[in-house]
Amino acid sequence: MSGYRMMMLGPPGAGKGTQAKRLAQELEIPHVSTGDMLRDAKRRDTELGREAAEYMNAGKLVPDEVVIGIVAERLEQDDAAQGFILDGFPRTRPQAEALTDMGVELEAVINIEVSDEEVVRRLGGRLSCPECGAVYHKEANPPSQDDVCDKCGNRGLVTRDDDRPEAIKQRLASYHRQTAPLVEFYEQRGVLEAIAGEAGPDEVTQEILDRLAD
Tell me if 122 contacts ligand ADP by CB under 6 A.
Answer: yes
By the rule CB under 5 A, 149 interacts with Zn ion: yes
Cα 31 to Cα 6: distance, rounded to the nearest angstrom: 10
- Interaction of residue 141 with ligand ADP, rule CB under 6 A: yes
Please say if 121 is a catalytic residue. no
Whether 171 sits among the annotated catalytic residues: the reply is yes
Confirm or reject binding of residue 135 to ligand ADP (CB under 6 A). yes
Q: Which does 129 bind (CB under 5 to 8 A by kind): Zn ion, ligand ADP, none?
A: Zn ion
The C-alpha atoms of residue 14 and residue 202 are separated, in whole angstroms, by 14
User: Counting contacts by CB under 6 A, is residue 88 touching ligand ADP?
Assistant: yes
The type of residue at 164 is R
Phi-psi region at 156: left, alpha or beta (left = phi > 0; alpha = psi -120 to 50): left
Residues 6+ apart with CB under 8 A from 7: 85, 86, 87, 89, 90, 106, 108, 109, 110
Catalytic positions, written as ranges: 16, 91, 126, 160, 171
**Contact residues: ligand ADP, CB under 6 A:** 10, 12-18, 34-35, 38, 55-56, 59-62, 67, 88-89, 91, 95, 122, 125-126, 135-137, 140-141, 162, 171, 200-201, 204
